[in-house]
Amino acid sequence: MADRIEREIEEILKKIENFPERSKGARPPRRPGPSGGGTLQRWLARISLRKVMMWALFAVLVAFVMRGVPGAYWLLIGALVVFVTAFILSTRGGPAGSQAPEKRWRGQPLDLSAPSWPDRIKAFLKGRKRA
């Protein structure tokens, strides 16, 4: 019986020696997702609505200062439209699905709200009865 176990261990060790090693830093190449996932898409995903509002406000100020330049009027209108749109999106929470996921503990949803005032009174009275 012991000989059989020793042979199995030796066989496993021989297989490990022939096992091809992967370097620790090497990773398989990443494939883009179903949407294509190009560089432009990743760059646009990093832009926040605050940055959009900031640059739109900057464009409004530049267009206001350069009123005599041809096209400044259209730049002003375009920048105002972008600013208002970004502001509305930021107050509504942005694109759909950007809300934080529901907090759960062991599969049950957590209620992180503060207890109501009747519950506080009950807890206070229970604490006084013990003393």
Q: Say what the pLDDT of residue 107 is.
A: 81
Q: Say what the pLDDT of residue 81 is.
A: 95
Which are the contacts of 129, defined by CB distance < 8 A and separation ≥ 6? none
Q: For 17-31, what is each residue's pLDDT tens digit?
A: 776 666 665 566 666
Cβ atoms 68, 74 nearer than 8 A: no
**Full-model pTM:** 0.43
pLDDT at 35 over 80: no
Judged on CB neighbours under 10 Å (0-12, 13-18, 19+), 102 is exposed
Task: Pick the closest to residue 62 from 46, 75, 51 (CA basis).
Answer: 75
Beta bridge partners of 109: 104
Q: Say what the pLDDT of residue 10 is.
A: 86
Which are the contacts of 62, defined by CB distance < 8 A and separation ≥ 6? 75
Average pLDDT for the chain: 80
Count CB neighbours of 4 within 10 A: 8
Task: Pick the closest to residue 11 from 3, 23, 20 (CA basis).
Answer: 3
pLDDT at 14 over 90: no
Q: DSSP string covering 64-109, please?
A: HHTTTSTTHHHHHHHHHHHHHHHHHHHHTTSSTT-SPPPPEETTEE
pLDDT grade for 99, boundaries at 50, 70 and 90: low
Q: For 50-86, what is each residue's pLDDT tens digit?
A: 899 999 999 999 998 988 888 889 999 999 999 999 9
Q: Say what the pLDDT of residue 56 is.
A: 94
The average pLDDT across 28-57 equals 77
